[in-house]
Structure 1
């Protein structure tokens, strides 16, 4: 008899150690996943970063790699003194959701202007940034760019944790309900199994409510002070991600009704004929709720953005449901093996078959999603999304290995009788004639404890069952990490988007391949006295044929200055063209122009700029510019 407690103690110690290691790995994953990576990259701006324009623009235009959601203050323009000079709210240019524009005051003077912007990408992740341009010539500026820690800070960390808890609660709720409805209906009578499903519901509800409150500070980078700002909450609800969170809360209210029926006396203790009809209704209702909950992610995140959204969204819903039924069912099976008196072999086999089907669905939908989100073998190896995907596949392979061991143990299980209900210490049947109620309750608890111990000894008498518990524990432990990596993936920019952005030359000063004015800023240092400065080059329209070029040389303070000599040429290395020298005419202090620069081909031209500040101090700098 002494051996059994020793074995149990060792098993509990092993489980505790595994949980500690798991918690450490999970913390590292969550810490590395926050803040979420930006998914909408700024491709180009008009005016460009560091550009010097000779006529004050009437508006500022930003173009992104995907659609963005704007607020009234998404784009702010500050003059050299720090005053805002934009007129009206930021809007999409011509209705194009991948743009943001705001009108400027018509009386702008010369000097350097600062543009601060923020937006939310179509897959719900916030982006922000700032750049400067100058009218006439660069100048000193006292404009202070507001701190925009969009998606970061304490709010970003808490938002990432909330996302993980929401995914985990969803898996636990859907998986445990599917397990109790399909694989082990008798388990719905056990209090510990009911608590598992209700715990998943509570975790998901609490996480969703927290996400709704944190959404405003997370997007705006305003800190936790705005968590209970009702105006910010109302603004969040008006957006697609906010509406998705609100719909999730409403679906969770329906899920609460579903749980009350699933665990009600009519289903758990009713006649089989009545229970069968009720089970069909519960299955249909539960499936609708589960699909709706999964859709609150699919319709608001990666699947809804990019190529083939009409195919990607339903497949993503299937992927999430398969994940939840498999991983949540695994948690339910682990609970049944460790916390109940026993589970029938047939129930374990049903779950094994169900899990196999889920894995097949996950593999099919996962292959499609990997192609859609990664796009190339190169992106798989070089992007954060690709590396996380490799880690997820490796972890899933480990889970499948443990599942294979579990299937072998399942074949060796011996069937055992499972009690209809867990022993109730207070209501236990005892034959006590003592008039002392406390003594009667004590005896009842003792008998209940003995009954539970006997049931567990019968359960543990089967060595296959003990082996199954260990392998399922290993499966569940790695599954928690799979869920963490999946959460990190949902907050990481897809590899396809990264490569498309890189191909487009996505920097705030990049130029569209189809042509358009080029604004390039080239810092230089000739090494001599007063040898540091900045050259600003403006090429219009930056297309094949004739182009107008303006060059401004400024000192470290941003004031235009003349230099003894400045030369400029273009080379198209991919075609072996050039260098083509540019004849510059002096057009004022620090300003040179070329009215007709002939560039015969489209492509990435290398602009070479030579600046001489004294008889011996000279430097040549290069910069690539796109000519459409």
Structure 2
């Protein structure tokens, strides 16, 4: 094993496997009523219990009705500072309520959080708490980062394991493929963490300092996007371990495990998005969304691998890689178009929604960018491929592949904004989901 790779493997393994040191600040141990609970009658008070003594700051507990009015009284400490209590009006009408809380920990940090309750109704998602903002540009950027990272992980793996199966790309290209697997996996993990924290902060509306010590449990345990985040965090941690082992010991077959597990974990985006939470969602919409995402990620990442790895580092395999991936790309494009068309029909009740709603107009923009990317690929398929089959490699193909890569990443950007957007409402009965979904 190469010394530098061994060092990288050791550091990364330690980061993945060693538990984090226990934090010194207080954490919320439990509450009465419980977080995200549905009550038959209004509670008389809100009780927060911590794992250590805290100081009740002003507005330590504030209960808000949906109109923003405060329905709780002043908070006070109890049980030696391990509890904070606040009375609640005894005439609360049926509806949803938001509990926002803050407390000063013994280490000087302010811990805070938010959760919702339902009186006679199901508790809404914490992302729908009173005072929460909708998704913002930063959420769009984070989602695009996740899509781009997934493409950098999946595309090169498909090129190496499927297109170049049984072939030796050479030591430099091989290292580049291993690097893509490792970097792509860690990018998915880290961008996912950022995206999760941003989504939680939309509801918390906390300062950066308070956000560092905020209680994110309601978001990780009571929302679809939070549950998907936790599963992805564990799953892609395993993918990272496989990628590091493959790189460190030069065991190429371990990358098959990376590819298979990553394809499964990509379903988390579909299971926590609109295709799973809208009233007319079904296993068909979720499956179509997963196929749509995977096809786009493999196509975009595959073009990047051709442009940045094969072309400069494995010139002897240019013809084989281009022709092999071209055949796969035809299938990917077919899946991309068919799944996207089906999802558009499901999400847009009327054809006029294409130009009368923001979601429809964004979809038109996506169609335009996708059309540009497909036209670029069609030129490669119709003009470049025949020449390569005759044994000729036209000049400028490397630069053209870089351009197609940029357009493919633009497709993922528009897709990220579209995924975070809200489609026009449809009337298909009430959703049967038992796990509240993140808004947007």
Does residue 319 of structure 2 align to residue 345 of structure 1? yes
Q: 2:96 aligns with which of 95, 100, 104?
A: 100
1:535-576 CA distances to partner (integer Å, 9 max, x unpaired)? xxxxxxxxxxxxxxxxxxxxxxxxxxxxxxxxxxxxxxxxxx
The answer to whether 1:181 aligns with 2:110 is: no
Report the counterpart of residue 255 of structure 1 in structure 2.
Answer: 239
> 1:272-310 CA distances to partner (integer Å, 9 max, x unpaired)?
xxxxxx4xx754x34541233212111111111121422
Q: Distance in 2 between matches of 1:481 and 1:345?
A: 26
- Mapped to 2, the partners of 1:234 and 1:479 lie a distance apart of 36
Match of 1:304 among 262, 271, 276: 276
Q: Aligned in 2, Cα 1:334/1:415: closer, same or farther, shift over 3 Å?
A: farther
Matched, 1:387 2:387: no
Q: Which residue of 1 aligns with 2:206?
A: 222
Change (3 A) 1:157 1:86: farther
1:289 is matched with which residue?
Answer: 261
1:162 to 139, 142, 145: 142
Give the aligned partner of residue 300 of structure 2.
Answer: 327
CA contact (8 A) 2:116 2:123 kept: no
- In the alignment, the residues of structure 1 paired with residue 62 and residue 398 of structure 2 have an alpha-carbon distance, to the nearest angstrom, of 56
Match of 2:134 in 1: 151
* Root-mean-square deviation (Å): 3.8
Task: Say if 1:214 and 1:227, in contact at 8 Å, map to a contact too.
Answer: no
Deviation at 1:85, TM superposition (A): 8.5
Shift of 1:393: 1.1
Give secondary structure in 2 for the equivalent of 1:412: helix
Cα shift readout 1:70-113 (whole Å, capped 9, x = no counterpart): x995636637999899548999x7xxxxx7369xxxxxxxxxxx
How much does 1:187 deviate? 3.5
* Aligned residue number for residue 570 of structure 1: none
Corresponding residue number in structure 2 for 1:236? 219
* Residue matched to 1:509: none
SS at match of 1:377: coil
User: With structure 2 as the length reference, what TM-score do the two structures score?
Assistant: 0.65
- What secondary structure is seen at the aligned counterpart in 1 of 2:387? coil
Counterpart-to-counterpart distance in 2, 1:166 and 1:218: 18
Looking at structure 2, the residues matched to 394 and 375 of structure 1 have their Cα atoms a distance apart, in angstroms, of 21
| 1:1-20 equivalences in 2 (<5 Å) | none
In the alignment, is the contact (CA less than 8 A) between 1:330 and 1:472 conserved in 2?
Answer: yes
8 A Cα contact 1:315 1:365, kept in partner = yes
| Distance in 2 separating the partners of 1:401 and 1:484 | 18
Separation of aligned partners in 1, 2:184 and 2:406:
17
1:469–1:383 CA distance, 2 compared to 1 (3 A): same
The change in CA–CA distance for 1:339 and 1:73 in structure 2 (over 3 A counts) is farther
Partner residue, 2:421 = 492
Give 5+ residue unaligned stretches, structure 2: 1-40, 43-60, 75-85, 99-114, 429-440
Deviates more, 1:208-217 or 1:311-320: 208-217
Structure-to-structure mapping, 1:78-477, within 5 angstroms = 78=69, 86-87=88-89, 100=96, 126-127=127-128, 148=131, 150-151=133-134, 156-185=136-165, 186-187=168-169, 189=171, 190=173, 191-229=175-213, 231-240=214-223, 241-263=225-247, 265=249, 267-268=251-252, 278=253, 283=256, 285-306=257-278, 307-342=280-315, 343-407=317-381, 408-413=383-388, 464=394, 466-477=395-406
Instruction: Judge conservation of contact 2:243–2:258 (CA < 8 Å) in 1.
Output: no
* Count of residue correspondences: 330
Change (3 A) 1:415 1:209: farther
Secondary structure class of the residue paired with 2:96: strand
CA offset at residue 337 of structure 1? 4.8
Shift of 1:213: 3.1
Q: Specify which of 51, 62, 65 is matched with residue 75 of structure 1.
A: 65
Query: In the alignment, what sits opposite 1:34?
Result: none
Rounded to whole Å, the distance in 2 between the matches of 1:236 and 1:385 is 26
Q: Is the 8 A contact 1:176 1:332 kept in 2?
A: yes
Q: Indicate if the aligned counterparts of 1:79 and 1:85 stay in contact, CA closer than 8 A.
A: no
The structure with the greater share of residues assigned to helix is 2
Distance change (3 Å), C-alpha of 1:371 and 1:261: same
Larger C-alpha radius of gyration, 1 or 2? 1
Q: Does the CA contact (< 8 Å) of 2:62 and 2:72 recur in 1?
A: no
Shift of 1:352: 0.6
Cα distance in 1 for residues equivalent to 2:299 and 2:320: 17
Contact 1:159 1:211 in 2 (8 A): yes
Structure 1 residue 237, shift from structure 2 partner: 1.7
Where 2:133 maps in the other structure, the secondary structure is coil
Q: What is the rounded CA distance, in whole Å, between the counterparts of 2:368 and 2:304 in structure 1?
A: 20
User: What is the distance in 1 between the residues matched to 2:91 and 2:242?
Assistant: 45
**Kept after mapping to 1: 8 A contact 2:154/2:297:** yes
Displacement, 1:478? 1.1
3-state secondary structure, aligned to 1:375: coil
Q: Deviations over 1:469-490 (max 9, x none)?
A: 2332221111111111000001
Counterparts of residues 564-603 of structure 1 (less than 5 Å): none
**Partner-residue secondary structure (3-state), 1:493:** coil
User: Aligned partners of 2:302, 2:319: CA distance in 1, in Å?
Assistant: 15
Larger relative contact order, structure 1 or 2 (CA cutoff 8 Å, min sep 6): 2
Alpha-carbon distance in structure 2 between the residues aligned to 1:298 and 1:122: 23
CA distance in 2, matches of 1:127, 1:373: 22
Q: 1:493 to 1:88 in 2, by over 3 A?
A: farther
Looking at structure 1, the residues matched to 88 and 229 of structure 2 have their Cα atoms a distance apart, in angstroms, of 33
